[in-house]
Amino acid sequence: MRLFTYLRRREWTPVLGCGLFVGFMAAGYYYNVTFVQLGLLDLGTRLVGMTELQVSTWMAALALLTFFVAVASGVTMDRRGWSSELLVKFRLLFGVVALQFLLTLVAPTIRTVPAFGAWILAASVALGVGIPASFSLAVDLVPVEDRGYVAAAITAVAYFAANVYPLDWRIEAFSAVMVAAMAPGAVALGALASGRVGVANRLVARLARQHEEFGVGRFCRTETGERTGEVRPVRTRSFAFWGPVVLMFGVFFVDSLGFLRIIETPSFVLGAWQSPDFSDHLALGVVHVVSALVAGVLYTNFDRNWLFLWVFGLFSLTHLFYTTDVRTAAWFPALAGGQVSPINSAVYAVAVSFYTTLNFALWPDLSTPETVGTHTAVGVGLAGWLATFLSTALALYFETAEVTLLSHLNVVNALALLLFTGLVVAIYLRRLVAAARGDDVSSSPGVRR
């Protein structure tokens, strides 16, 4: 790891930069998986009085708007050169955090549907601008060699915290935690973004120069031949960029479509994410941490396709476990009231940690400082938010069509298996074509003859 080298040499600027990045991203992701995904559902149903269906529709609108705002912001950042200017990114982020702070503070007071809608609209602007502004910080703050481990650290911190605190999935609890956490963060970010605090200015100036060394992502260099290591940026309109976008879209879609149904099934969540027993939450948190670290090691040492294969394989396995439980309950109804195996939620947690780690590292690694705004916005926006929008819409359709739990999870399992098989076939065909052309087939990921 480059970070250890910096630590040995007592070069604190890059170490501090990595710490800042882990802090920002972990806090942002924690906010997303708790306040946005769980808190809004409670706000809409309990305090505003909407049905779950109505809230889900609003959530889908949030995802769609966030996607559009993210792409618009990312493209603007690249075109105006803001993606290469750390101070501008800090200022954008400060605006995002300030707006989100206010929104978080007022959220528990919302009681009407129009107010809820206005909140969604404002939040989608904040989240949409926040995506390229925050993810693009990686090119300034994180050495390419360490991105897998840094992504693992973000995933581990965010999911561990989200699993152990707060246990109460109510908007008031989420709001109190977030406001307390965001206040000092907003002050620190304000100091960095203001340009008026001497110490912060010097730090920002030093960090801003790092993109000359860290800026070119891992997949923007040639990997074989005499020109190994030479800069070869991934173009936005290339298969090298859209291939991972499609795969990550599949990952988010599969996860979201399955999880939306799983959290509505009491026997699945009461022994895991909504268990009254704290040790269940702690166990899930530890599983997230360990599997994020594993994913970090794998990302650093293998080609990204391997990690995608693991993710699809794990999701297939997870949904196989869940569907087996449902089938068992159908065959032996007396078993239906029994406890669901903790292995199901543990394997689910492993799969989620794997792809989250991949998501944090992949987009900056497919970018240069000139393209990072667009690539992170399209990558995270399309793969993450648009996939969530479409999966929510499909889940709502399944609900109105009264699709059974088993059929729903079967669809998810089939999708995961299809993506797994499709990726295996695609990798094989790519090598086959390379072999037929007489190219170097031995340049396969992670190995050499």
Partner 1 sequence: MAAPSEVLPLLVVVILLMTASGQSADRMEVHFDGDRAVAQVEEVLVVGGGTATIPEGAAPNGTIYVVGGDFRVRGSLDGDVTQLAGNVSVADAGAIAGEYRTIAGNSSIAEDAAIGSRSRVEFTQRDRSPAADFGFLALQALSLALVGAFLTRRRPALLRNVGDSIAHHSVVSAVVGAFTGATALALFVFMAFTLILIPVSVFGIAVGLLSAAYASLAYGYLVGARLPIDRPDLSSGVGVASFVVALDLLGRVPLLGPIAQFTLVVTGLGAVLITYYGFREFEPALSKLEG
Site residues, partner 1 (CB under 8 A):
144-145, 218, 221, 223-224, 228-229, 294, 297-298, 300-303, 313-314, 317, 320-321, 324-325, 328, 332, 334-335, 337-339, 341, 343, 347, 445-449
Q: Which is nearer to partner 1, 180 or 447 (CB)?
A: 447
Residue 308 Cβ vs partner 1, minimum distance, rounded to whole Å: 14
Using CB atoms within 10 Å of the CB of residue 433, give its burial: 0 to 12 exposed, 13 to 18 middle, 19+ buried.
exposed
Residue 447 Cβ vs partner 1, minimum distance, rounded to whole Å: 4
Q: Which is nearer to partner 1, 437 or 448 (CB)?
A: 448
Question: How far is Cα 409 from Cα 330, in angstroms, rounded to an integer?
Answer: 14
Cβ neighbours for 100, distance < 8 A, ≥ 6 positions apart: 31, 123, 126, 127, 130, 182
Q: Which is nearer to partner 1, 77 or 272 (CB)?
A: 272
Question: How far is Cα 278 from Cα 280, in angstroms, rounded to an integer?
Answer: 5
Question: How far is Cα 226 from Cα 428, in angstroms, rounded to an integer?
Answer: 25
Asked if residues 39 and 107 have their Cβ atoms less than 8 Å apart, the reply is yes
Residue 124 Cβ vs partner 1, minimum distance, rounded to whole Å: 36
Q: Which is nearer to partner 1, 82 or 268 (CB)?
A: 268
Q: Which is nearer to partner 1, 121 or 335 (CB)?
A: 335
Question: How far is Cα 440 from Cα 192, in angstroms, rounded to an integer?
Answer: 48
Q: Which residues of 106-143 are buried (b: 16+ CB within 10 A; e: fewer)?
A: ebbebeeeeebeebbeebbbbbbbbbbbbbbbbbbbbb
Q: Which is nearer to partner 1, 24 or 214 (CB)?
A: 214
Residue with tokens 């704290």: 278
Q: Which of 118, 62, 121, 122 is nearest to 98 (CA)?
A: 122
Q: Which is nearer to partner 1, 222 or 404 (CB)?
A: 222
Q: Which residues of 173-203 are buried (b: 16+ CB within 10 A; e: fewer)?
A: bbbebbeebbeebbebbbbbbeeeeeebeeb
Residue 197 Cβ vs partner 1, minimum distance, rounded to whole Å: 36
Q: Which helix (H) or strand (E) holds 127?
A: helix 113-135
Residue 283 Cβ vs partner 1, minimum distance, rounded to whole Å: 15
Residue 316 Cβ vs partner 1, minimum distance, rounded to whole Å: 10
The three-class DSSP label of residue 265 is coil
Q: Which is nearer to partner 1, 241 or 310 (CB)?
A: 310
Residue 210 Cβ vs partner 1, minimum distance, rounded to whole Å: 17
Residue 321 Cβ vs partner 1, minimum distance, rounded to whole Å: 7
